[in-house]
Amino acid sequence: MSQIFSIAHQKGGVGKSTLTYNLSLLFSEDLHIGLLDTDLQGSISNIIEEGENLSLIPAETDLQELKKLDFDMILIDTPPYLSQKLPELFAISDFVLVPTKAGFFDIMAIRSTIQLIKEAQILNPRLTAGVVLNMVKRSSNLSNDIKTILEGYGLPILNAKISDRVSYSRSLLLGGVLKTKDKKAKTEMLQLADEILNLMGI
């Protein structure tokens, strides 16, 4: 039975597709990974190259059938808006990653997504989730107020943080961040992948 991992935030421009792409490649080194792109823009579908442990799942696949597919894990890239499909996705998910920038308005914008996660957890007790700070500016210092807001949402804040690096944008063209020369970017993404796998018990 496949583990379902969704990456969701109803606000666009927070780096969901870049995270989905890089995490799927990292996970595929040890796991048989399926990738489902539910974003109508098809960002992931247009760039992914299928490998031995990584396969694109047709967008028209019935969500209720996903767990029956022969994968260790299925990553789902979600649309950059509060889609009516999110509750259905969360209902079948084992883990939801909520990426957010470290700005006040970005953090406030995730409330609707987190509320949907909490509602899904009532019917799907196995569902866990976490917030990751993404595209963090080097000069950015999270104020205590921002941290307090995040902690008040009731979801774990992952220790791993992803900086705002050109390497992540270039990784979409180069076949993943591990193929860039940016050692710090590689370290950040590997730390995030390891932390997620630990949270999922894999």
Residue with tokens 């705002």: 164
Residue with tokens 């979600």: 78
CA distance 59 to 36: 6
More confident residue, 52 or 124: 124
Q: Mean pLDDT across the chain, nearest whole number? A: 88
How many separate domains does the chain show? 1
pLDDT in tens, 61-79: 999 999 999 999 999 998 7
Domain that holds residue 150: 3-200
Domain of 68, CATH number, reads 3.40.50.300
pLDDT above 70 for 143 = no
Rounded average pLDDT over 125-151: 82
Total-model pTM: 0.92
Q: Dump pLDDT digits (tens) for 170-186.
A: 898 888 999 999 999 99
Model pLDDT, residue 116: 93
d(CA 35, CA 4): 10
